[in-house]
Amino acid sequence: MKQQLNQNYHSCPPKEESERVALRSLMLYELCCTKVTRRQLTMWSLTSTMEVMTSGGAAET
């Protein structure tokens, strides 16, 4: 009987969990559907990484 309950629990996640998953997929969906292209996103991540690296180097010296 206990095993049956565990299986039910795994197949149906708690409400908060499913809401969080739905929110995450919605955010991904909005990201994909906005005018922002993958190339722009890569450029942004590159520039932010460069900024972090340069600021880190400046802080060290």
Domain with 48, as residue range(s), is 2-60
Q: Which residue numbers in the chain have pLDDT < 70? A: 1-14, 31-38, 56-61
- Cβ neighbours of 55 (radius 10 Å): 10
pLDDT at 5: 52
Give the torsion sign (CA, 7, 17, 29, 51). Answer: negative
- For Cα atoms 16, 11, 30, give the angle at the middle one, nearest 5 degrees: 50
pLDDT at 24: 79
pLDDT at 21: 78
pLDDT at 25: 78
Query: Residue 2 carries which DSSP code?
Result: H
Looking up tokens 């996103």, which residue turns up? 41
Q: For residue 52, give both structure tokens.
A: 């972090």
pLDDT at 35: 63
pLDDT at 28: 74
Q: Torsion angle, CA of 6/9/12/16, rounded to 10 degrees?
A: -160
**In the chain, how many domains are there?**
1
